[in-house]
Structure 1
């Protein structure tokens, strides 16, 4: 439908025309931006639709997320116990008992969001969980997504009580002095292998796609119109295709295939429209999570009440926290460099970032690709040093930063986990922008809920959840923060020619806000209300999207029911 859309103001994120009164849309794309008269001239006879919004912006882009898996992990029948819902360990235990009371005794249970630092509790071992759950199969996933904790019943189901498996490449299992497993697993290959029996049981529920539907709606309600799946595997394909085909599907999805999958480098074809679902790259993990003490950092974890409560060992984590050796990294990159995929590396510690940049430089240089438009990505980069951003710029690496790390953990990072010079400046936003990089922001759902406006507020004010100010010299401007969740985030996904700004030729993807971000105080940015989103020139109706999802044939999510043990996790001793 041809339509001319107006709002109190239109913030385009186009440097050539930063503000407009109206935008003309035909065939789902923008055909004119400017005054109402300009748009009427470009699209004669089109109706004028006043959104009533104070401001219309390009739809927010979340360049790093995990929508389907986040929905399966956090939405019913799973339980979300992250600190923003269960602030203390006592609250977590209360959630455990609530789940026990409201489910059949033989039903496996899954909980997502344990955080040793914010819950002030050490990793729960199998004996501790057994004391609460008895012989029930239970999985607790760490909020960082890098750890899982299970009851002895899960280990018995896997056959690992009598025959503990060896550690997989890129992960490891906690072990007692006699070699038996503690029920704690760290990093994706180990954590997913250990959690697999419970995930598989959940996937056999009445409609496993519904958790993903609810998570899509959560993202859309935050103003997001495009995001990614950074833990894609082929078993998720039918689910993403089904979601993309639903009426009022609210999100464009870019896929990043896990490097641990044998088919990660394969070409991607789909029945879903390419503009709604496409594969962009391959995902790898260099090191771990700051919150569980396994980032490859040159600065020491401090010996404080904060780290002791979380069970984090003091001292310099160092290179031993890398999930791969440098030779393994080079081999992985070399195996896929000719396929044209973006490589997207999770890397938090400065040592991990150095090693990833070394590997990027070596492999890209070997193939004369440093000056090419490769857009190899580095994700999170919380503990980066200032000099590393210039190095990223010199080889064309693209950083996606996580303001949520600073916002929720800032007080603990600054003097509680690391020395103030390191922890206080965690997430060096200013240094990244000053290096001339196309910096994007993300929430890494479901590590934290999708909150683009809160990310912007944190980056602009450098104030964390308590209101405390940390490293104000690392603050950015509002324009930079908005770019990080619009045009820069689109660039990170290789989609800046389609989305991320309101310009002629791009998709008509918008977010309606109840206030102009430039008119509110910096510390009130997160209070701006999201009134709705548009995708391809149509206002998204989440009610219709949810209703349509209930009609999806079982075949569309059959593979979710057999999600089970990932191929990378068929370890010795496993029954699966």
Structure 2
């Protein structure tokens, strides 16, 4: 058999290359993974006469593999796959052929807590992790330690907020981690994070509560990551590699061939190396090092193990990650506008006042100091911003640094992430500075109906995730799913940004002026996403000389009604010219969770996301 392979599309190949937008076939070298020719099938057969029938694969529609440029694969796998419990309201299960949402409401989550607590098969000393509690969508209160003690009086439990910006835990967990909670009191707030404590007001309501002790709340990554100690973490997630592999496979089954780790710490390297080296590894991963990482110096270059040559094309360090503010779902975004006085907001115990600058994680001077530290090293920056106030502050800091270091007008590709509440004039300013904008369709998909009039006023909420404004501003826009904050579904993202109709029974269109064309939506998960990750030179389109990363679809997205784009089937992916078997990839990491396990002291699994 020849090393040269041909994929023929019975319908079409959508290349995302403006010089040749459509084709019938693509030829590539299966050993190097390089695309050799794109065009008509007969022409390719003539050009490569040694290609035999066995070297030809036929699909219906072929595209460049989808790219999610902002994700958290290892932490998402660790906190959503067994033995962790994924309790997000959008999680589904099939029962007798019917789709159900077992965690759609807070009472359903409460019932699940009681069921798990009563399961005698689970050792009582095993910490339990629940991920995905959403106060807005499920109508849940902001949990406290005494609340969780009612459900889990004897088991250590950690509940991660779906936003990734908060965590809730019970007394048993606190007692098992005296390093962080000596005498049940937090040792102090880490930089960029904080712990909640009981106040005198709390004690008035319950005289058993002790002022100054942890109330079972942690906010932002530095605090959340220290809630579990290493021993507890090893017991809670006994096979983190398999959990991560399951998330990789989930992404691949949704057509994704490249992504990022946007909360990378040096202690995660061995995991990403193992995943990259495994046969049928489906993803290329660019790493964004947390500026707050204490396990290694964020500015250092990636050092590959000596027994892992040639990994640079599949795993590389891309930049530095920072957070300007928090999340709209927990009330700590830096915004200029208030929340509504509504049942959803009040039940979630969200402060109504505009967060403004008080919700910023850094002062302008701190931002300048961080940028000064790393800009000369050439790293790309990626800044989490949800609120409009946060984006103004970040753009100010970016502009100061670009001017200070003579980088204005250069190909720096500094990024801002999310920007759900941000405006068109801000996007125009960002584009003028050469700033990349990565938007979160999931914020609109799952919260869109609530955002418009229930969480925020209609003039704010209906416009959430202003993709239309961003494209009109001339920005290079990408879309992302942000790890476990939402399922990794590029086709759903594309559909929703074209239709502006969230997935809910109401089916209402919100902010139709913020819709984008199908072409722009596809670009956001292919060429633009590759550009954001600095891989547009070899990925993002089906072009001669680039690498053969593909996704096969059941039909042409241009030939289906926009409302049904997400129902297209992903019929397979290729990475570097090799067809991926996601299940075979997962089998590289056997399920040994029932056997004696060792703690995983090197994995910082808890993350801050949207």
TM-score range for the pair, normalised by the shorter chain length: over 0.9
- After TM superposition, give the deviation of residue 156 of structure 1 in Å: 2.2
How far, CA to CA, are the matches of 2:378 and 2:437 in structure 1? 19
Superposition pairs for residues 68-87 of structure 1, below 5 Å?
68-85=74-91, 86-87=103-104
RMSD of aligned C-alpha atoms? Answer: 1.9
- Asked if structure 1 preserves the Cα contact closer than 8 Å seen for 2:185 and 2:214, the reply is no
The answer to whether residue 218 in structure 2 is matched with residue 185 in structure 1 is yes
What are the Cα deviations for residues 539-576 of structure 1, in whole angstroms up to 9, with x where unaligned? 11223212223399xxxx9894443699x9xxxxxxxx
Q: Which residue of 2 aligns with 1:93?
A: 110
The answer to whether residue 227 in structure 2 is matched with residue 194 in structure 1 is yes
- After TM superposition, give the deviation of residue 418 of structure 1 in Å: 1.0
- After TM superposition, give the deviation of residue 37 of structure 1 in Å: 2.8
How far, CA to CA, are the matches of 1:43 and 1:558 in structure 2? 52
- Secondary structure of 2:276's match? helix
How far, CA to CA, are the matches of 1:187 and 1:387 in structure 2? 29
- Asked if structure 2 preserves the Cα contact closer than 8 Å seen for 1:376 and 1:398, the reply is yes
Query: Out of 144, 155, 171, which is 1:125 matched to?
Result: 144
- Asked if structure 1 preserves the Cα contact closer than 8 Å seen for 2:249 and 2:583, the reply is no
- Secondary structure of 2:225's match? helix
Taking structure 1 as reference, are residues 302 and 494 closer, same or farther at Cα in structure 2, changes over 3 Å only? Answer: same
The answer to whether residue 585 in structure 2 is matched with residue 507 in structure 1 is no
Taking structure 1 as reference, are residues 256 and 402 closer, same or farther at Cα in structure 2, changes over 3 Å only? Answer: same
The answer to whether residue 290 in structure 2 is matched with residue 258 in structure 1 is yes
How far, CA to CA, are the matches of 2:558 and 2:57 in structure 1? 19
What are the Cα deviations for residues 413-455 of structure 1, in whole angstroms up to 9, with x where unaligned? 1111111111110000000001111100000011001000000
How far, CA to CA, are the matches of 2:105 and 2:591 in structure 1? 39
Runs in 1 of length 4+ with deviation above 6 angstroms? Answer: none
Q: Which residue of 1 aligns with 2:174?
A: 155
- Secondary structure of 1:291's match? coil
Q: Which residue of 2 aligns with 1:286?
A: 324
The answer to whether residue 420 in structure 2 is matched with residue 394 in structure 1 is no
Which ranges in structure 1 are unaligned for 5 or more consecutive residues? 569-576
TM-score calculated relative to the size of structure 1: 0.94
Q: Which residue of 2 aligns with 1:60?
A: 66
Query: Out of 7, 13, 16, which is 2:16 matched to?
Result: 13
- Secondary structure of 2:21's match? strand
Q: Which residue of 1 aligns with 2:401?
A: 363
Q: Which residue of 1 aligns with 2:6?
A: 4
Superposition pairs for residues 195-234 of structure 1, below 5 Å?
195-196=228-229, 200-202=233-235, 205=238, 207-234=239-266
- Asked if structure 1 preserves the Cα contact closer than 8 Å seen for 2:476 and 2:528, the reply is yes
Superposition pairs for residues 371-390 of structure 1, below 5 Å?
371-390=409-428
The answer to whether residue 301 in structure 2 is matched with residue 267 in structure 1 is yes
What are the Cα deviations for residues 49-105 of structure 1, in whole angstroms up to 9, with x where unaligned? 554432100000000001011111111111100111211112212332333214122
- Asked if structure 2 preserves the Cα contact closer than 8 Å seen for 1:55 and 1:514, the reply is yes
Query: Out of 339, 344, 353, which is 2:391 matched to?
Result: 353
- Asked if structure 2 preserves the Cα contact closer than 8 Å seen for 1:108 and 1:198, the reply is no
- Asked if structure 1 preserves the Cα contact closer than 8 Å seen for 2:225 and 2:604, the reply is no
- Asked if structure 1 preserves the Cα contact closer than 8 Å seen for 2:79 and 2:605, the reply is no
Superposition pairs for residues 225-244 of structure 1, below 5 Å?
225-244=257-276
- After TM superposition, give the deviation of residue 203 of structure 1 in Å: 6.1
- After TM superposition, give the deviation of residue 258 of structure 1 in Å: 0.7
- Secondary structure of 2:352's match? coil
The answer to whether residue 424 in structure 2 is matched with residue 421 in structure 1 is no
- Secondary structure of 1:257's match? strand
Most deviating of 17-26 and 89-98: 89-98
Q: Which residue of 1 aligns with 2:97?
A: none
- After TM superposition, give the deviation of residue 347 of structure 1 in Å: 0.4
- Asked if structure 2 preserves the Cα contact closer than 8 Å seen for 1:288 and 1:296, the reply is yes
- After TM superposition, give the deviation of residue 316 of structure 1 in Å: 1.1
How far, CA to CA, are the matches of 1:509 and 1:263 in structure 2? 32
Query: Out of 464, 480, 501, which is 1:442 matched to?
Result: 480
- Asked if structure 1 preserves the Cα contact closer than 8 Å seen for 2:191 and 2:292, the reply is no
- After TM superposition, give the deviation of residue 408 of structure 1 in Å: 0.4
- After TM superposition, give the deviation of residue 197 of structure 1 in Å: 5.5
Q: Which residue of 2 aligns with 1:44?
A: 49
- After TM superposition, give the deviation of residue 506 of structure 1 in Å: 0.7
- Secondary structure of 1:87's match? coil
- Asked if structure 2 preserves the Cα contact closer than 8 Å seen for 1:150 and 1:195, the reply is no
- Asked if structure 1 preserves the Cα contact closer than 8 Å seen for 2:129 and 2:236, the reply is no
- Asked if structure 2 preserves the Cα contact closer than 8 Å seen for 1:200 and 1:564, the reply is no
What are the Cα deviations for residues 173-224 of structure 1, in whole angstroms up to 9, with x where unaligned? 222213322111111111222244686234662x321101100100000000
The answer to whether residue 190 in structure 2 is matched with residue 172 in structure 1 is no
What are the Cα deviations for residues 286-313 of structure 1, in whole angstroms up to 9, with x where unaligned? 1001100100000111111110011101
- Secondary structure of 1:256's match? strand
- Asked if structure 2 preserves the Cα contact closer than 8 Å seen for 1:204 and 1:561, the reply is no
- Secondary structure of 2:24's match? strand
How far, CA to CA, are the matches of 2:197 and 2:280 in structure 1? 48
Q: Which residue of 2 aligns with 1:483?
A: 523
How far, CA to CA, are the matches of 1:199 and 1:52 in structure 2? 49
How far, CA to CA, are the matches of 2:66 and 2:598 in structure 1? 31
Taking structure 1 as reference, are residues 204 and 452 closer, same or farther at Cα in structure 2, changes over 3 Å only? Answer: closer
How far, CA to CA, are the matches of 1:163 and 1:119 in structure 2? 30
Q: How many residues align?
A: 562
Whichever structure has more helix as a proportion of its residues is 1
How far, CA to CA, are the matches of 1:203 and 1:35 in structure 2? 54
- Asked if structure 1 preserves the Cα contact closer than 8 Å seen for 2:196 and 2:214, the reply is yes
The answer to whether residue 124 in structure 2 is matched with residue 105 in structure 1 is yes
Query: Out of 532, 552, 557, which is 2:572 matched to?
Result: 532
